[in-house]
Structure 1
């Protein structure tokens, strides 16, 4: 007898898509296609293979609505094969769970699945198949109806008391996650899937990308990879770090730049999966830092995650063991310093409060250089920690309210910060020698960072100064600070224009450099076009220097990857310069008209610049911060004027 099954909505929709609402007849096999059945004509199908002769001749879609009996026969074979595969998979997972000591996987093994169908069993009754189909079509409601206790994660927290410790301890240390200690180290020894093993890039491509990063880019940032000197070592340590290295290397590679999108997509997927994972290790933090330093679209999210994870695994406590000579403590402290510098790169320059805090580990940064494990790369890293500690004080003191003028009582604090930066420059300027991987960048980078810091600090002099078409002058003390900022900005651009070696670094330096180069150009253009009445500057010279800088950036970025931030910055600065050149021409006309109509105020007669030998700096400039010496020391001899 024929049995008619109730059709679930999804099954009805499927039949509708094939153009045949009639349920299949289970008493016989259907050999005619849907199109011929609708026309009630004979369907000629050679050896049962579609399309039939009529559909082929007319170009029609040829589909056979298979009978339920055929589906039942195929279902038995398919389920038997799946059962065998599931058994093998469960055995493999059980072995993995035992190897890496993961009770979560073992708990999953204990959960009973659907009833198995043994190989060679007869077809189940129609009622059972109907129930199976309905369950598959309404899986969501089915899952919600299962016992609630099967879906609750096992409790992994417990109250502990360390018998070796005294009452003075970290308060929350008495409530701990069981099995957490030491787990990351066990996981690091097991090979996990990465973008190479999944086939996204080939092993040969990955080797080239690793060498690009390891031999050049990693040396700009004081060797984030640490002890990892091979691709295989990185792959074993962390798929996230592997993806980060390949992504950043592809961004800076001419031959393999086409791999950037696929590497970048996989890197973001791994970061997303890591965000709520408790299975993280120090190499995952390295992977987050590598991405944060070079990938501008997600840098802030990455460093925020890195700071959180670094705090979670107590990297900041490594300094205590490091100062006692322990190498693991040294590596932990070093990684914390990298996180600290990266965090400050993307907080202070963007007007955000840093997430990493000052404390004993920052106060003791210089002491780590006295340990037996310290290298010159560590000295470069510590120099950055010292600089950003100063700039952190600047941020805390002056905030981000750029619309309010500096209060007179805060100027001594600003000058003390300026003196601290001068001292920092004097301490580190001659500390580094040429590097076989990045040339003279270690020494030249000190000067570049110094002028970045001075520019950021001295730009505060322009806070709250109104823009007006009539001459408005600021106090001599503020003008002194403003001039120092202008000279620092010009020093930055002079180095790009004059130093070919430094231009070669631009396709490799982290995002902070790109941001500050853009800020230096915009700062000078604003001063030259809107604030030229307030301080004595050579507007024409500034515009000329900016023009040369834009031309140099255009030449440098011609061969960069299209997703590199400096490419976007270069194009934007070129458009901005074109607008400002027009504004400058109008400004010159206005200044000429005003200078002939009124007398300039007798503030700081410019004749002192023509008689440097007899000029008394001590009296006339109480705290000039020796800007002229800094200007020459960091830049070297000024390059000759280029032909116009």
Structure 2
């Protein structure tokens, strides 16, 4: 097509203007980039090379409206902006999904919240963090793969503060202040992980919600009331427990399933979940008070885990600073009441198993422990606190006796030791006179609070005075001093009183299933001690009646056999073990009667030692084959007999 002169001249004029503009172009970096022109013609008008007119208030041009077609503005710069905005929106949504997924994985594996991880350049890379989490998770699950490398990340601020008013802190705090290494930090201020109802084992369908509510209700009205009026579990419903701590809900349901008959399958599921959660939180640095309560509940009632759980609970509590709570409460911080209460509960739990296993306690009797009367002056105190402080006061006495006489079963008491032993006996007598009237009755367990004081009084007297016969035998010590014989007879009468209280006091008898395993341990210890003394020592040395002991233990066995408890409850194992021991005792009595008859006829099987030489195989069968050591304590290997998953 030919070009008209007018058009040709216009084109040349435009080229001239372009050349002039190009001559003025500079390479100065400060010159702003040219703006992208915004095309105003729509695609249809541009195709026909006509003017694109848009009336005010309209989004389509007049030609597209007349033609009835879609008006598409061919604006590449606007398209770029729109595409960029869409990409950012999609990326933000994807990032939120990833954050939610990572947070859920962290909570499931018991790790800190996502916000606690490093975001600066010195922190671990995302790949390294994922590898670290995966390695820890596989380690908890028993994987054989090596663990991740130790993280040595530092805080953002690395300058030590020389103006810190605390001049003498803990040494580890000074080390952290200098190095700023995160793994040295005391994470008491770290926000604990949250628990979602949708993630716990009830929501996953391991057990039904109806059964979980039933188990919680049973625990609340029985075991929780027996253990100092419900202070170990302050929650009123299962939903509150599940929102607060999955570990606590698993502990409560496991212990309840253990006590209810015909719940073995439920017990296995709950027990497996509880053990899994304990393992997962063992290396976690952030905890709640309910996590500590969950460990205590397991320690009080799960015999195969008791020692490990009580020690772990004490360590976590000290990390949380619970041992300093009473001092803060005295200084006027009312919010420290619950923390101080939990520390006293841990003290009793620790000493229960210190006695049961014959090992030194972890918590020392510092001023916060000995000032329990100061705690009772708090306006928040409930009746359960009085029962708890009664236990604290008793174990303060027994701990002092432990330090004085030690726990070496091969070390006999000297005659000089009995003077101090009488001092401890007087202290225990005064303890009963003080705390029995202060322990009020309960609508749930009736007179058990005050009767429980009497029962623990007999436990303490028996445990303390049984030391008189420690490391002695009638063969090597045919004559006992008056002091030693007096204490030994006190131990015998106290052990009989323990068994008779369990048999004759209705409220104690009814509670025998739900009480913590410390009570079962001491009842068993009393029975074994009496059988051993009846075999080793006779009425010529001590005030003991073998037939009375036999009848009493028979009644105890019958009580435990008839107990309304789960198939794996400790009472059933105790009943079976005592039954076999009593059979051996009957065999010894038959042998002893035969020897006595031969002696009356002038015939002896062992001249000069007829009444004191006892067949050692009978003693071993009685005290060794059924899980009770020669010192009267439960042996660790025997605890495998109570494996709930066997």
Partners of 1:94 and 1:276 in 2: how far apart? 19
Q: Does 1:219 align with 2:225?
A: yes
1:174 is matched with which residue?
174
- The 1-side partners of 2:576 and 2:387 are apart by 32
* TM-score between the two structures when normalised by the length of structure 1: 0.68
After superposing the two structures, state which structure 1 stretch, 566-575 or 252-261, moved more. Answer: 252-261
The separation in 1 between residues aligned to 2:259 and 2:400, in whole angstroms, is 34
* 3-state SS of 1:514 partner: helix
1:231 corresponds in structure 2 to 238
Q: Provide the C-alpha distance between the structure 2 equivalents of 1:193 and 1:413, rounded to a whole number of angstroms.
A: 57
Report the count of equivalent residues.
481
CA contact (8 A) 1:528 1:539 kept: yes
C-alpha deviation, 1:174, in angstroms: 3.3
Q: Does 1:571 align with 2:576?
A: yes
Q: 156-165 or 289-298: which moved more? A: 156-165
State the 1:100 CA deviation. 5.0
User: Are residues 234 and 153 of structure 1, via their aligned partners in 2, closer, same or farther at CA, if it must alter by over 3 Å?
Assistant: farther
**1:102 equivalent in structure 2:** 115
Report SS of the residue matched to 2:464: helix
Please state if 1:364 is matched with 2:379.
no
**Offset at 1:215?**
2.1
Distance in 2 (CA, whole Å) between partners of 1:505 and 1:436 is 14
TM alignment of 1:21-32, pairs within 5 A: none
Alpha-carbon distance change, 258 to 189 in structure 1, aligned in 2, over 3 angstroms = closer
Distance in 2 between residues matched to 1:357 and 1:186, nearest whole Å: 28
Q: Higher relative CO (CA 8 A, sep ≥ 6), structure 1 or 2?
A: 2
Q: Indicate how the Cα distance of structure 1 residues 95 and 506 shifts in structure 2: closer, same or farther if over 3 A, else same.
A: closer
Structure-2 residue corresponding to 1:111: 126
Deviation (angstroms), 1:256: 4.3
Unaligned runs of 5+ in 1: 1-82, 114-142, 599-644
* Residue 505 (structure 2) aligns with: 499
Q: 1:325 to 1:415 in 2, by over 3 A?
A: same
Choose which of 565, 570, 594 in structure 2 pairs with 1:560.
565
Q: 1:255 to 1:109 in 2, by over 3 A?
A: farther
Q: CA deviation at 1:467?
A: 4.1
Q: 2:586 aligns with which of 577, 581, 590?
A: 581
How far the C-alpha of 1:344 sits from its partner, in A, is 0.6
SS at match of 1:536: coil
> What CA deviation, in whole Å up to 9, does each residue of 1:525-565 have, x standing for no partner?
11112211421322222222222222222222xx3212111
Residue in structure 1 matching 2:425, options 418, 431, 435: 418
Q: 1:444, CA displacement in angstroms?
A: 0.8
Which segment drifts farther, 226-235 or 566-575?
226-235
Q: How does 1:506-521 map to 2 (within 5 A)?
A: 506-521=512-527
* 1:625 alignment partner in structure 2: none
Q: CA deviation at 1:152?
A: 4.8
> Kindly tell me: are residues 377 and 271 of structure 1, through their superposed partners in 2, closer, same or farther at Cα, counting changes over 3 Å?
same
Instruction: Decide whether aligned partners of structure 1 residues 401 and 166 sit closer, same or farther in structure 2, where only a CA change above 3 A counts.
Output: closer
> Which residue, out of 302, 319, 328, partners 1:312?
319
1:346 match: secondary structure: helix
1:224–1:286 Cα contact (<8 Å) kept: no
User: Quick check: 217-226 or 370-379, which moved more?
Assistant: 217-226
Quick one: which of 450, 464, 470 aligns to 2:457? 450
Tell me what 1:333 maps to: 340
Counting only pairs closer than 5 Å after superposition, residues 374-393 of structure 1 correspond to structure 2 as 374-393=381-400
Post-superposition offset of 1:463? 1.3
Which of residues 526, 533, 553 in structure 2 aligns to 1:527?
533
1:141-156 superposed matches below 5 A: 152=151, 154-155=153-154
Q: Is the 8 A contact 2:323 2:343 kept in 1?
A: yes
Distance, in Å, in 2 between the alignment partners of 1:413 and 1:325 is 39
CA contact (8 A) 2:226 2:515 kept: yes
Structure 1 pair 423/591, CA: closer, same or farther in 2 (3 Å)? farther
Structure 1 residue 450: Cα displacement:
0.7
**Structure 1 residues 216, 105: CA separation in 2 closer, same or farther (over 3 Å shift)?**
farther
Q: Which residue of the partner structure matches residue 90 of structure 1?
A: 98
State the secondary structure of the residue aligned to 2:315.
helix
Q: Secondary structure at the match of 2:493?
A: helix
Asked if the contact 1:496/1:552 (under 8 Å) is kept, the reply is: no
What's the counterpart of residue 410 of structure 2?
403
Maintained 8 Å contact 2:262/2:566: no
Give the distance between the partners of 1:591 and 1:455, measured in 2 at CA: 30
What's the offset of the Cα at 1:91? 4.3
Superposed CA offset, 1:134-158 (max 9, x none): xxxxxxxxx99xxx99x95633596
> Mean alpha-carbon deviation: is it higher for 99-108 or for 432-441?
99-108
Q: Distance in 1 between matches of 2:600 and 2:432?
A: 40
Partner in structure 2 of residue 197 of structure 1: 203
Match of 2:309 in 1: 302
Task: Kindly provide the CA deviation profile for residues 378-422 of structure 1, in whole angstroms up to 9, marking residues without a partner as x.
Answer: 011111011111111121111122233211121111111111111
Looking at structure 1, the residues matched to 596 and 412 of structure 2 have their Cα atoms a distance apart, in angstroms, of: 25
In 2, are the aligned partners of 1:521 and 1:546 still within 8 Å (CA)?
A: yes
Cα pair 1:529 1:587 within 8 Å, conserved:
no
After TM superposition, the structure 1 = structure 2 runs for residues 20-99 of structure 1, keeping only pairs within 5 Å, are: 89-93=97-101
Q: CA deviation at 1:340?
A: 0.8
Q: Per-residue displacement from partner, 1:417-471 (whole Å, max 9, x unpaired)?
A: 1111111111111222221122211011001111111111111111122244x99
> Residue 585 of structure 1 aligns to a residue in which SS?
helix
Do 2:410 and 2:471's aligned partners in 1 also have CA atoms closer than 8 Å? yes
Preserved contact between residue 225 and residue 286 of structure 1 (Cα < 8 Å): yes
Normalising by structure 2, what TM-score? 0.68
Residue 269 of structure 2, aligned match among 262, 281, 285: 262
What's the CA shift for 1:305? 0.6
> 1:595 and 1:377 mapped to 2: Cα distance?
59
Q: Which residue of 2 aligns with 1:545?
A: 552
Q: Is the 8 A contact 2:231 2:384 kept in 1?
A: no
Report the counterpart of residue 14 of structure 2 in structure 1: none
> Could you tell me whether the CA contact under 8 Å between 2:233 and 2:293 is conserved in 1?
no
Q: Which has the larger radius of gyration?
A: 2
CA-atom RMSD in angstroms: 3.4
1:95 and 1:579 map into 2 onto residues whose CA distance is: 60
Contact 1:369 1:378 in 2 (8 A): yes
